[in-house]
Structure 1
């Protein structure tokens, strides 16, 4: 398995923000605009050269540029965040599992 590029602090923040935005039914929507604002501020520091982050970055960019009529409600972007976060988590799980089995 190829070595994975290190993630910057902005990369980690974007991933965590998308994690929060991917589950609005169980998250207090009142804070979601703040989450998007933080993510928007950190997006210039995201590692756009990392192909593994492309789906996450595209979704984060959509949140960052979205103007909402109802605070905390970003419509279909929540579903998109859910999908890209599940894909990200599955890939990270598979990588960790491969490494754990190789360590034996």
Structure 2
């Protein structure tokens, strides 16, 4: 799910030919995604919106690309903060 949203969100999206395929892969994977993990909720909600979106132009999901970009950037920032906290360890925590 995370990698699929990355493909759907990272600019520039110039070749939309495979984006419907990416959404199809995500559709197959979503039943296995744990909805109990609160850290994933922003990504899950965004993925669900791609799965229910009706497109008039193949590969063009309108504002969902921007929503995915925002959700992925938030995810990346939180993972970076977690990694930094881990690297700093107990000595960096006050």
Report the TM-score, using the length of structure 2 for normalisation.
0.91
1:35-84 Cα shifts (integer Å, max 9, x gaps): 00000111110010000000000000000111111111000000000000
For structure 2, list consecutive stretches of 5 or more residues without a partner in the other structure.
none
- Report how far residue 103 of structure 1 moved: 7.4
- Tell me which residue corresponds to 1:37: 24
- Tell me which residue corresponds to 1:88: 75
Larger Rg: 2
Aligned residues: 91
- Tell me which residue corresponds to 1:55: 42
- Tell me which residue corresponds to 2:64: 77
The alignment's C-alpha RMSD in Å is: 1.5
Report the TM-score, using the length of structure 1 for normalisation.
0.82
Structure 1's 69 and 26: CA in aligned 2 closer, same or farther, altered over 3 A? closer
Once residues 43 and 20 of structure 2 are traced to their aligned partners in structure 1, the CA distance between those partners, rounded to angstroms, is 18
Contact 1:59 1:77 in 2 (8 A): yes
